[in-house]
Each structure stands twice: as structure tokens, then as C-alpha cells.
Structure 1
Amino acid sequence: MYSNIILPRQWSRIACFCRLSTIEGQKLPQSGKSSDGISPPPRIPRGPTDILQALAATVGPDPTAAHYKYHDDPYLIPLSNYRKRAYALSAEAGRKAAAWIRDEHASLFNTREWDPPSKLKTPYYNADPIIDAFEPKPIYNEESKVTEEDLKYTINNALLDDSIKIFQLLGGIENISEETKLALLQFLCFYNEKEPDSMEWLEERWFSANVRERQLATWKLGGLADKIFASIEPKTPEAYCAVIQGMAKHYQAERAHALSQEAIEKGIPLSTEVFNSLLACVGFLREGTALRAEALKGLLTQMGEQGLSPNEETLTACLRSISSWGGGKMLQELALQVVAEFKQLGIQPGLSAYYYLLCLFCKERGPRIDILSGILVDLENRENLDAKEPTDTNFFITAMGVCSDHLQDINMAERVHALLMKGDNYKLVGDAYKESIYYRHLVTVACRHAPFERTTELLDTLVPNVYVPEPSVMEEIIKTLEVAGAGERLAQAWSQLVVFGIAKRVRLVERLLSAMSSTYEYQTEEVKGKMRDAAADILKFGKIAENEQNAKDLRTPVQKLSANAVSNIVELCSDVKDTADANWDAVSEGIQRLKQSDATGVPSRPQALADVALRAATAGKLGIAASAVQYLAECGFEEAVPASIQALGAVLNRPQEEVETLLEKQRADLTKAVHPSALALVDAYYLAKTGAPAREADSSTSSDSDSESSSDDE
């Protein structure tokens, strides 16, 4: 009964809907003015992620946050290089397992088991939209019925082994078209008939050891590529370009150069990319710098005679060759001349070209040449830096290495880092291996040449989520903290060593203990307590590591701390007045490790143990005091005698002169004069004085006196 009644609110909704539908059906004006005088701005095309990028730009990167590939949980974020690598590779291993199941059991993704037998082979796709990269890869065998379209599919998807298999199933060269034959030739020349590494496993490539490319002739002579090229008649420019570039890429330089000359003599035009590849391997054609430079200029001249215009890759290829010939002023002048001539043509060097210039001018043991400042001026004036070649990612790591090792300039390093963080340039830092080396150079040059405040600010920003210091870099950090007297940060450094997984590096731990010992006296009482706790924890950690070794029966023994390091622990932990303090247990354990030869060598500062004996005697820890003096006496240190006298003076509350007079008596006489708890110090004194225990010294003295009396009687 209410169907014909429309409320005013409903009318407004319907009118709004009609108005919106009318607007959506119209095409928005790109420019111009409307009749009512309103001028809408021109339409700007937007991508699907432009809004997200705009929102991210307002926030900025958070250097203290973990990488997006790790779980955003403080208990699951890896804080050591080993754990970062293990977490990333384990996640990728799961993806590899899924890919293996997809490829080995492709039928599970193409059919439905619940279909009736008549429809069991019905194609079934479990994804919408269908993503070809996630589909099971086709399997080809001797019984497969293939067509030329299958060969094109494998070429377009970089399936080299499958391409060769289908090529053989099709019957060889005679049964494919010229177009497909040329595509297969280009495919084989690019990869040199070797299955390319999968681009899908990013983490495996990022965490792999970055081995420098070896420039060896690896071209497969007489392979399928050579056969296909020989079968092409007449030879086309595309075929010549493909074979020459493939040979030059895999350092078959002489054969590539001969084919290029053959093509030029036949009047077959070659591309700029062909000459770029020949320029990159021109050093294999000649011996000696002068002949190689002449060959380089000859190729450039020949390129001009062919009417080809050079590009940025041509400049990079020239500098790559020059930098690989060695060093010296002649090559440097040649490189600068090439760069100047290309700039006259309007071609600016890219990141790869600047990378090769740095390799040429900034040798590790060569003279200091500041070419980096001019490079940075050019790059800072550019709006953005785009990656055009694979070697572009080598620029920033090399530039930061030049700042750290060659120039030793923190201001230049900060300019390089600011350029990397500008805009979207961080993508040029490279893989995880290069990123780690880059930050290694940055932190090292900051520790050595930057003010302490700037260094600590940088460390707080980078460590540990962005960068986990290696042991060598951690040693530089400890040195910097020691020079600055930052006791609290030194105490925190021990926990960082544990978290970073490098606490078993004995040399690093000993360096930390030495730094804490040298800066201890200048700290506040609160900081001293933290340093004592860290020293005691180091001793406990070493004991736990030894127990684990004994339990697991490891082949590689755990390295023991040196006597200097244990002595530093004892000295730090003994600076307490409370007799019930737990640090006295660490002092006792440390002295026992010294006496039992669980530490390598002997202390270089025996006076530190003498001071520990005095502190222990003052605090009433007579056993610890006696053990310290006995160890000094057993090692033959001259500090043992005054240490025992001072410790006895503290125990007996007597001046040093009285203690010395008291010790002149026989030990049997001292048994009644000295408290039994102080007799251990008396024994230590006799051990240090005579080199023998007190009772042996008494017996030898009494026998001497008896022999003297008998001779007198005679």
C-alpha cells in the first residue's frame, strides 16, 4: 500500500545517482574553458600505484624498521647477517618447493579429480586472471607433438633447453622459417647455449658470493649457433650482428673482429651495439698499451666511416676496456680524452662510465687523485639517476670505497650517501652483498674521520636493521668508542656482539675488554656497574661455549681468551666494596682460569693483579687475594712480593714495616701470631720470595742451620 509513496530523502538520492551516472558517461575535458567561465585543469594520467607512492613520499623511509621481507615482529626480526641470510633463503626455499610441486605434478593444476572419466582431461585453471608465470611449464620429450609456435613460445620465455629440444623435434634447420631461425640464433648467441639463471629466485642471487667475472673465452665453438649462422643464406645484417655480439660478449674477440671485417667488406651494415661489444673486448686483440689504444681509436674511426652515431654505451665500452688494461698516466689521459670528445657530441657519462673512471684513477696503492668530486658535481645536478647497464650498481659501492680507502674524506662520503638517498636512487645500491660492502665503507670512514657525535648518530640510524657490522668494522667501532671514552656504549657493544653472532671472535672480545679497561676509571658509578656486568657476562659466555664444545665434541676447538683479557675481567669485576657482590665470583673464577692455564700467555700488566689482591684483602676475600698473589709468584713476577706484603697489611691492619718484620720469622712461629685465614698470604709471600712453598723453605733453612752448628762443634 506504500509502494507509490517516495520520501523526499529518497528523491534526493535518486537525483544524486542520476547526476553521477551522467557525469561518468561523459568524457572529461582535457583542457579549455566551459561556458560558465570555470576552467578545469588538464587531466593527468595516473597509474594504479601512484596514490600509494604519494602517501609513501609524505612519510619517508624509516631506517630503523626491518626490511619488508622479514616479519614485523621484534621477536622474529633477524639481527645478524647469518640470520638475515637464513630467513630470506628459507622463505625462498619454500617458494622453490612450491615451484617444484607445480612442475613435477602439473596435472594437479590442470585437471579436476572429481570430474567424471569422460571429462577428466578438461582444462581447469585455478587462478583468475590466469598468470602465465605461475602456470606449470610444458614438458617436451621424444613423443611430444610440437609446432613452430612452441619454439617461439620457449624463445620468448627464455627456455633454452626446451628451445633446443623442440628445434630437434621439428627436424632441424630446414623445417623452420627464416624469422624463427634468426630469433633462435639471437637467443643462442645471447646465452651461449647455456640455460640462463632463473630471474625468479631473487634472494639466492642477492646473497650469493659476488665473484668477479673472469674474462675468458667461453664461446662454444662449432655449436648450434655457428651451425644456424652458416645455414643462413644470404647472410643478413641481423645474423651478423647476433653472432658478433655473442662472440664479443663471451670474449671470442678475434673471431668476432674477423666477422665484423668480413661484414664490412661485403657491404653489410652493422649496428652501434656491435661496435660497442667490439670496443669492450678490444684489449684481447693486441698486446701493450700503445697497440691497444691504437686499436680502440681504429674501431671508433671505423664506426664513423660506417655512419653510425655513438651513444652512452659506446663511451662505457671504451672506458671499460681502458680500465682493464692496468693503470698509469697514459691510460688516464686517454680516458679523459675519450670523455671530452664524447661530451662534445652531447653524450654525458653514465654511472657505469664513472665507475670505470674511478677504477682507473683511484687505485688502492696509487697516488691520491680527487676525481670523485667532479663526478659528484655532475650527478648532483641531474634530476634522477636511471639504471641503464648492469654495472651501474657498481658506482656507489666503488665511490664509497674511494672515500674510505683512497681519499679518506668523510665529507665526500656524506655527499655520496646523500646522492644515494636522493629520490629513487637507492635502487642503484645493488644486491644485499653490495649493500653490505657499501655500508662497511661508510661506517669505517665515519669511525676514522668523522666527529664522534656524527659517528654515533650514523650508527644509531643504520645498526642493526639496515646494516650489521662485520667483525673488522666492529673493531673500528670499538676503537672509536675507546678514544671517545664512551663507557656505556662499550658496555652495550658486548650485547651487540652476542646479538650479531660474533661473540665467539676472541680477538674482537679481547679488543673490547682492553677498551673497557682503559676507559673504566673515567666513568660514573652507574656506567662502571654496567661495564663490570658486561665483563662478568663475557666470562660466563666463554664458559658456556666451552661446555657446548665438550657436549657436542666439536672438531674445531673454541678459542680461549688470552691472559690479558682474563686479567682485564678480573680487574674490572674486583672494583666493588660489597663483599656479597656477585662480581667476586667472576673474580675468583677468572683467577682460577689463570692458574689452571685456561688462558693463553701471561698478563702484560701484573700490577693489575697486585691491585686486585689488595682490593680482595681489604674486602675480606682472603682466598681471592692469596690466589692472585700465588699466581704472580708462580709466574715469577716481581710484583708478587710487594703485593703479598700490602695484602697482609690490609688484613692485619698494620703498616708495611711491621709486616716485613713479621715475615722475617719462621712460618712455624707465624702460625700462632697470624690468623689462620691470613696464612695463605704468608705462603704466597714465601713462594714469591724463595720460589718454593713455605714449608719447604722452612725445612731447607733448618737443615742449613743444623749443618752449621755441627761444623762449629767440630
Structure 2
Amino acid sequence: MAAPGRHVGHYIQRNSRFFLNNLEQLWGHRSFGWSPALRQQAAQANKDSTETIVIPRKKTWSKEAVLEALASTVNRDPTAYPYQFQDDPYLSPRNNNEFKMYSLSLESGRAAGKFFVNSNPKFFAKDFAEPHIPCLMPETVSPCLEEVSEEALKERINLRKVTAAVDMYDQLLQAGTAVSMETTHDLLDLICLYCDRNPVQEGGPQTENTEESGVETRSSRGRVRQVSDFMKTTWKEGNNAERIFNLLPEKDTRCYSALIRGMVMHGAYAKAFSMYTDLLNNRLTADVHIFNALISATPDVREKYERWELITDLLNQMSQQKVQPNLLTFNSVLKALRTCGTFPKSQALQTLNEMKAVGIAPSLATFNHLLAIFYKPGNSGQSSVDILQEVISQLAGCSLTCQDPDDVRFLSIAMKICLDSKDLELAYKVQSLVEVGENWRMLGDSYQSSIYYGRFFNLLCLMEHVDVVLKWYRRLIPSLYYPNPQGLKDLLQALDTDSRLDLLPTIWKDIRSLGHDNKLDVVEEVLTLMAREKHSPEVQESFAQCALDVKSVFDGESGRPSLNWSTSALSHITSLFLRANKTQQAWKMLQLFKSNNRVPPDWLMDDFLSVCRTDGSAQGAVDLVQLSAAFCLPATAQLAKRTVAEFDLTEEQRATLLELDSAGESSD
């Protein structure tokens, strides 16, 4: 029997000319860059021996190839917590707040360790790792060159030592040493990026700025802007960037670009446009980065209905200066259009046509801005749904890559549109896109990911059958999503809608494990659903056991702060004990009414009396009427009459009830 490789070789050699001819007809050689010499060489190879098998060159595998191959055979465990918490199961987070706190703690400890290693490299000089892992070794954080030279300046720029770099630049100027324009560009970029201050070293003490990251600031025109740590400092008049810029004998576009982008980044919007005017007066042409920054700043320098005019003017100037736009240009236009009043839809479509005309493919941020323009919260317009359906159909099965910082916002708004329009089929398509390859990374950080999965789970609870809901519930929690109290309420309502209340004890265990047993509204929702109607004896027994566990939460037996008893919680737990024939626990619950200054409802006292009649406990009925009188319930007289009529009482018990009945009537 011939070897399989020989058959493959014969097949390729016999059919290579057929493939080659068809490719020539369909595409032509030039589209593949084939030269006549290569075609002649291929033809000569076909004429040579038909029995020769060409052995391919040795394949060089990367060091991670084996690990990647093994990782591809392992699926995600939906019952496990995220991998970063598996080293210490005690600290496994149970809800989104704990996830955020533990994640920040881990990152803070990692940053502190890195800061210590980098600050004390002499203690970590030996490297025992094999193979060598550069990221675990100390970084060079202190300048090694002390002499006044351009190389020392470059070193300080690479180390992001803003103050030291500026001092070195001044010393070079005082010594009469010329600094190359390339190094000057890098220095201006560094100063403008960090707004003339040293960046806070990772893990180190924050002396200049101790505010939390990601704070919101409001611009002069009322637009809320998210800023990160290095963007919080406002642009100061006459800072080192402006001073060095003014000292330059010749200023090129790159110098203007550094200052304009820095001014836009740090809130000096009007000054950025003034700098752009100065660039034009010096007969220079701007680059695409300058125009992108100015377009993104238009909402902060013009009123709502005047912004599109300024954007159009900037785009026309780009065309006049022959500056080719890029993806960020069009995304900046669409993002600015979101603030241009109530009629930006036609301009958005015009912008998309321009993108198509210049051959620029949109990114997820493009679609995000487009959906935001056509979609209004609280109004599930069909136009936004149609756009989303078309976008998802184009992206189906594609592996997504991040090309714009706003790319991570698309999936969240897409799922919000699905939720508002109650379009479950479209939501499944969005989720299918997330599950392709590593597209889950496009969900953003843990907070944005939680918002996405929360909306998806909410839609499932509203529209899907409970069995499917529970399937997704086990698939998402806790490996991908920590449900908030509202998400758990949605799940409880889904169980109620499909009459699967028998699963409430199981869901209650999950509520406790997720740390939401301290939310009174969630606990009362569980009790209300269990106590609303009667079920089979087996279900009532499981409900009673669940109610006993709920009681421990109110009593503080779980080691956490106890909840305050409410009348409804006391009533429902008592009713569940009565239905499961746990009369002793029910009597204890009645005592809790008194100790917590709560009054039991009349229906509960009637149910209690019915249980006493079933058990044939006349003394229990008398005690119940006495307890009702102690609560001063209006139904005391009615309970006394029922007890006299329905129970075999002794003369002493009858006299006691008649006395309570007369006392109740006299009080009336």
C-alpha cells in the first residue's frame, strides 16, 4: 500500500496547473505579486520528476505553542470563580462589590511588590528562572547617565522622568549644546502627556494626586467627561511645554501636534484652537492627530447646534491640506455628533458614506456611536434595532480586535437595545458574537462586563422559559457574572411566572452564597413567594427548612449583622411553619412578634386557630386567644367565639374565653 504522502504529492502535482490557470482567470497574477520568473520556475518544477516528494522546511514552534495547544482543549468551568481568585478560595468574591474590592487588592499588592522590586534592584540581582522572564526582573527606574548630554536626556525621557528631563534640557541649552529635533519632539510629547508633572510610579506613594482614578469632571458646557489619573491636572498657562516650544528657533508640525493634543487632553480647548490658528499663520499643515484632537474638542467650544458647522469646517481644512483621515477621525466625528442636538442622524449617515468612500472599515466604536445617535433611552425605536441587526449580521463569526478605546462600549449598548426592544433572538446573536474566540475581551473591564451580562440575564428572565433561564444561570454564575439584587428578583419572578416555586430553596442557597442574604427586599421576596399559596407536603417541608434558614439570618446566627424583623417576614415564616406542621417553631415566632413590637395580622391568627383545631389542642386555642388579647387585636372577640364553638373546653377555659370576649366587646 502506498504512503498517504505520495498520494497527496501526486494529486497536487497533477492539479497544480489547473489551480494556477483558474487563479489566473479569476484574479490575475498581479494581484498576488507573481513575477514571470516565478511562474516559469513553477512550470519547470511541474515538468521535473513526478515521483519526487519535496519535504517542507522544519517548523519552528514558539515557546508557548504547547501551552496554547493544551489551553485550547480546556473549556471554561462555569461553576468556578475567575482564575485570579483560585489561589485563595477563602477570598473568592461572592458579589460584584467583593469582586471589585478583591481585584483592586490583588492589583494593589502586585503593584506594591513591583514598586519594591524596582526601588531595590540590588536585592533581586540573581535570576533563577529558566527560561528567563524579563517582566519579573527589576526595571531600570533610576537614570544611569549623570553627565549633561543628549543621551542622558533621552534616558530620562524613556524613564518618564518629566522634571529631570526638563532640567537636563535646560542644562543643555545653557551649555550651548543643540538638541536634535527628534529628541525635542519626544520631550514635548512626554511633558504634554503628563501635563508637566511626574507620573505616579506604579505601587508608589501618591504625593501629587491622591484622588481616585476614573473620576468624573464636568466641562464648562456641562458635558460629563471621564478622566484617568494622568489627565486630571489642568493645563497651566506658561508651563514647561509652552516655554520650551517658544524657545525653539524652528517649529514644525510635530511640535504643534504635541501641544495641541496635550491641551485637548487636559482641558485647554480654546487654547488648542488658538494654537492651531498659529500653526496655519506659520504656513504649516496639520497632521491627522491634530484634527482628531480638535474634532473631539468641538463639543466643549461651541453650543449644541453650532458644533456640526465647526466639524464640517475642520474636515474641509483636512481636505484642503491633503491630510488623509483615519478611523479615529471618523469616530471622533460620530462621537461629537452625539452631542449635536436632536437632528444628527443625516450627518451620521453622511459620515459613514465618507468612510466607505475613503476605504476605511468601521470599528466597534463606530457602531457604538451610530447606535447612540439613533437610539434614545426609554424609546425602543425600530431604526436602532434594524441598524443593530445589520451590524451583528456583518460581524457574525468574526474575531474582533480593539482599534479605538470606545470599542469596548459597543456590546453593552447593543444588549441594552435588545433588552428595551425585548428582542431575544437578536440578544442571542450578540451573545454568539461574544463567544467567538476571544471576543469576550471586548466587553471591557469587570464593571462593564457585569452590566452586559446583567442586561442579558434580565432579558432571559423576561422572555425565556424558566428551564432555559436556569441553564444560563448555571452557565454565567459565578464564573462570568455576579447577579445584583435586581437580577435575583428577576430570577424569582421567572420562577413564579412558570410555576416553579419548588426551586426557591435551591435559589435561596445561592442567594446566601452570593452574599445577598443581607438584602431585606430580596429576602422578603423569597418569603412572599413561598408563603403565597399551599403546595404538596414535600414542598412545604422544604419551604419550612428554608424558612428556618432565613430565620437564622434575622437572628444573626450567620456571623453577619442581623436584619431587622418586619411584620411580613414574621408572618410568612410563621405561616410556613404552620403548613409544615412545625407548631412549636410557629409558637416561637408568635413570641418574636411581641419582643419586636410587631402585631400579627388577623389572617395569621385564623390560620393558627385552624391548626389548633386540626391538632385537637383546646389549650393551644385558648392560649392563642389570650395572646391575641395581649396584642389588642380587633379579631380577639371573633377568635374567642370560634374557640368556644369549635373546641371541647373545660369550664375554666370557657370562663376565660367568655371573659376575654366580654372584655373585647366592652372595649369596642
Query: Within 1, Cα distance between the matches of 2:465 and 2:602?
Result: 35
- In structure 2, the CA distance between the partners of 1:479 and 1:161, relative to structure 1 (3 Å rule), is farther
Query: Within 2, Cα distance between the matches of 1:360 and 1:173?
Result: 56
Query: Normalising by structure 1, what TM-score?
Result: 0.75
Say whether residues 1:562 and 2:566 are aligned partners. yes
Query: Within 2, Cα distance between the matches of 1:461 and 1:358?
Result: 29
Q: Matched residues, percent identical?
A: 25
After superposition, residues 407-446 of structure 1 pair within 5 angstroms as 407-446=421-460
Structure with greater contact order relative to length (CA < 8 Å, sep ≥ 6): 2
| Secondary structure of the corresponding residue to residue 605 of structure 2 | helix
Counterpart residue number, 2:208: none
Query: Within 1, Cα distance between the matches of 2:353 and 2:620?
Result: 76
How far did residue 388 of structure 1 move? 0.9
After superposition, residues 644-659 of structure 1 pair within 5 angstroms as 644-648=640-644, 651-652=647-648
- In structure 2, the CA distance between the partners of 1:541 and 1:102, relative to structure 1 (3 Å rule), is same
Q: Is the 8 A contact 2:412 2:452 kept in 1?
A: yes
How far did residue 301 of structure 1 move? 0.8
Say whether residues 1:332 and 2:331 are aligned partners. no
Query: Within 2, Cα distance between the matches of 1:547 and 1:58?
Result: 42
Aligned match for 2:283, one of 264, 267, 273? 267
Say whether residues 1:510 and 2:524 are aligned partners. yes
- Partner letter of residue 584 of structure 1? T
Counterpart residue number, 2:268: 252
Q: Is the 8 A contact 2:399 2:438 kept in 1?
A: yes
After superposition, residues 15-34 of structure 1 pair within 5 angstroms as none
Say whether residues 1:297 and 2:333 are aligned partners. no
Say whether residues 1:589 and 2:595 are aligned partners. no
- In structure 2, the CA distance between the partners of 1:310 and 1:620, relative to structure 1 (3 Å rule), is same
After superposition, residues 181-196 of structure 1 pair within 5 angstroms as 181-196=184-199
Q: Is the 8 A contact 2:418 2:427 kept in 1?
A: yes
- Partner letter of residue 595 of structure 2? Q
Query: Within 2, Cα distance between the matches of 1:596 and 1:679?
Result: 28
Q: Is the 8 A contact 1:335 1:357 kept in 2?
A: yes
- In structure 2, the CA distance between the partners of 1:260 and 1:85, relative to structure 1 (3 Å rule), is closer
Q: Is the 8 A contact 2:612 2:618 kept in 1?
A: yes
- In structure 2, the CA distance between the partners of 1:650 and 1:350, relative to structure 1 (3 Å rule), is same
How far did residue 536 of structure 1 move? 1.8
Aligned match for 2:239, one of 223, 246, 260? 223
Say whether residues 1:501 and 2:515 are aligned partners. yes
After superposition, residues 331-480 of structure 1 pair within 5 angstroms as 331-366=344-379, 368-382=381-395, 383-404=398-419, 406-480=420-494
Say whether residues 1:571 and 2:575 are aligned partners. yes
How far did residue 213 of structure 1 move? 6.0
Counterpart residue number, 1:24: none
How far did residue 392 of structure 1 move? 0.9
Say whether residues 1:537 and 2:541 are aligned partners. no
Q: Is the 8 A contact 2:552 2:558 kept in 1?
A: no
- In structure 2, the CA distance between the partners of 1:269 and 1:68, relative to structure 1 (3 Å rule), is same
After superposition, residues 54-65 of structure 1 pair within 5 angstroms as 54-65=69-80
- List per-residue Cα deviations over 1:467-513 (Å, max 9, x = no partner): 12111222222222222222232122322222222212212211221
Segments of 5+ residues of structure 1 without an aligned counterpart are 1-30, 111-123, 202-207, 550-557, 578-582, 653-669, 693-714
Query: Within 2, Cα distance between the matches of 1:680 and 1:144?
Result: 102
- In structure 2, the CA distance between the partners of 1:416 and 1:196, relative to structure 1 (3 Å rule), is farther
How far did residue 563 of structure 1 move? 0.6
How far did residue 182 of structure 1 move? 1.6
Query: Within 1, Cα distance between the matches of 2:56 and 2:646?
Result: 91
- Partner letter of residue 154 of structure 2? K
- In structure 2, the CA distance between the partners of 1:273 and 1:535, relative to structure 1 (3 Å rule), is same
Query: Within 1, Cα distance between the matches of 2:496 and 2:586?
Result: 23
Query: Within 2, Cα distance between the matches of 1:504 and 1:622?
Result: 39
| Secondary structure of the corresponding residue to residue 83 of structure 2 | coil
How far did residue 298 of structure 1 move? 0.8
Query: Within 2, Cα distance between the matches of 1:358 and 1:483?
Result: 33
Look at both structures and tell me which one has the larger radius of gyration over its CA atoms. Answer: 1
Counterpart residue number, 1:149: 151
- List per-residue Cα deviations over 1:230-274 (Å, max 9, x = no partner): 112211121112112222233322222222233233331221121
With 312-321 and 79-88 compared, the bigger mean Cα shift is at: 79-88
- In structure 2, the CA distance between the partners of 1:166 and 1:625, relative to structure 1 (3 Å rule), is farther
Query: Within 2, Cα distance between the matches of 1:247 and 1:473?
Result: 43
Say whether residues 1:242 and 2:244 are aligned partners. no
Q: Is the 8 A contact 2:466 2:494 kept in 1?
A: yes
- Partner letter of residue 191 of structure 1? Y
How far did residue 596 of structure 1 move? 3.0
Say whether residues 1:481 and 2:495 are aligned partners. yes
Aligned length: 601
- List per-residue Cα deviations over 1:197-253 (Å, max 9, x = no partner): 66789xxxxxx8865564469323211111111112211121112112222233322
Aligned match for 1:673, one of 644, 648, 651? 651
Query: Within 2, Cα distance between the matches of 1:209 and 1:232?
Result: 35
- List per-residue Cα deviations over 1:398-453 (Å, max 9, x = no partner): 2222222x323222222221111112211111111111111111111222232322
Counterpart residue number, 2:99: 84
Q: Is the 8 A contact 1:618 1:650 kept in 2?
A: no
Say whether residues 1:70 and 2:85 are aligned partners. yes
Q: Is the 8 A contact 1:617 1:650 kept in 2?
A: yes
Counterpart residue number, 2:39: none
- List per-residue Cα deviations over 1:322-361 (Å, max 9, x = no partner): 1133x41x12222222222322332232111221222222
Query: Within 2, Cα distance between the matches of 1:209 and 1:559?
Result: 34
- In structure 2, the CA distance between the partners of 1:47 and 1:157, relative to structure 1 (3 Å rule), is farther
Q: Is the 8 A contact 1:617 1:648 kept in 2?
A: no
- In structure 2, the CA distance between the partners of 1:356 and 1:161, relative to structure 1 (3 Å rule), is farther
How far did residue 637 of structure 1 move? 4.9
Q: Is the 8 A contact 2:111 2:203 kept in 1?
A: no
Q: Is the 8 A contact 1:103 1:136 kept in 2?
A: yes
Segments of 5+ residues of structure 2 without an aligned counterpart are 1-41, 205-211, 221-232
Counterpart residue number, 1:120: none
